[in-house]
Amino acid sequence: MDTTGFDSLHVTASDDGRIVRLRLDHGKANEMGSEQLHELTRLADRLRASDAVALITTSTKKSSRGTPIFQAGANVTERVGWADDAVKAHVRWQRDVLADLRRAPVFHVVVVDGVALGWGTEFLLVGDYRIATPAARFALPETGLGILPGAGGTSELWSQIGAPHALRLGMTGERIDASEAQRIGLVQELAPDADAAVARAEALAGLASRRSPTALAAFKGAVLDSVGASEADRTEREAAAYEACVDAGEAAIGRAHFAAIRAGEVPPWSPRRRGGDR
C-alpha cells in the first residue's frame, strides 16, 4: 500500500503490504483536527484500493510528565473564531470520516495505552477489536462543555456497550479504567503493558494476513451490514457475501490448496475484488 503523503499521521506497511500500521504522535495530545481528518480519509481510500487485510492503530504520544496518551480529544483550538454553521459542518464531517474508516475492508485492531478522552473514546468505534493496557483511561466529557459526543459517541456507542453504560459515560463524564472498559465491552482484551498489547495486535494481524483479502472484506461487510437488519436480511447478506467469494474464485483456491492450508501454508489468494468491498 502507498504510505506516502501522510504528514501528521504515521502510516507504514509490511513488505507485502498486507499489514498497515497507523501510529498516532502529533500535536500536544494527538488531538484530531482537519489535517488528521483529511489523512484518515486518505488512509481509508488507500486501504480499499490495496490488498491490505489488517490495520493496527497505536500511539506513542506522552505528556511532558511521561503519561501515555492515546487521543485526548478533538482539536478545538482550530475552531476559534468559527461560525456556528462551520462548527456543525465540521462535526458532521468528523462523523462521516470515522464511518468511512469503520467500513475499510481490513481487520482493524486498536491498541489503547493511555488516556482516550472524547474523540479518543469515539475513535474506538472504528476498531474491530480493541486491546487496552493498565494505563488506559476512557471518558466522554463533552456534555460538561455544552455539547455532546458527536462522532459516534451518541449514535453508535450504545450498540457496543449498551444504552445504560453509554448514558452513564455521556451524562456524567465519569472516567473509567481499562478493567471497567473491558467489563462493559468498550475494549475486548487487556494486556499487561504496551509492548504486550502491540505484540498481541501484531499476532492477530498476522493471522488475518494469511487469509483471503476478498473473503475478509466480504465477511466484515456482511457482519456490519447485518447489525440492525431483520433475520431474513441477515441471511440474504450472508448468502450474497459467500457467493461473492465463490464468484471471485477464492473458494476454488481454498479447495485446491486445502491440504497445504491445513499444513500451515498460505495459498496464492487473488487480489481483493474491489466491487466486493461492502
* Count of residues making up the chain: 278
Give the pLDDT confidence score for residue 278 in this predicted structure: 41
Write down the H helix ranges in 28-156: 34-49, 84-102, 119-123
pLDDT digits (tens, 9 = 90+) for 151-201: 999 999 999 999 999 999 999 999 999 999 999 999 999 999 999 999 999
Beta strands in the chain (DSSP E): 10-13, 19-24, 54-59, 69-71, 107-112, 115-117, 129-132, 137-139, 176-177, 189-190
Give the pLDDT confidence score for residue 139 in this predicted structure: 98
**Grid coordinates of 133:** 493496557
Give the pLDDT confidence score for residue 151 in this predicted structure: 93
pLDDT digits (tens, 9 = 90+) for 13-63: 999 999 999 999 999 999 999 999 999 999 999 999 999 999 999 999 999
Domain-wise residue ranges, the chain: 10-208, 213-276
Give the pLDDT confidence score for residue 273 in this predicted structure: 75
Is the pLDDT score of 10 beyond 80?
Answer: yes
Average pLDDT over residues 100-129: 97
Helix, strand, or coil (residue 271)? coil
CATH fold, domain 10-208, is 2-enoyl-CoA Hydratase; Chain A, domain 1 (3.90.226)
Q: Is residue 190 exposed (0-12), middle (13-18) or buried (19+ Cβ within 10 Å)?
A: middle
Give the pLDDT confidence score for residue 277 in this predicted structure: 47
Binned at pLDDT 50, 70 and 90, residue 274 comes out as: low
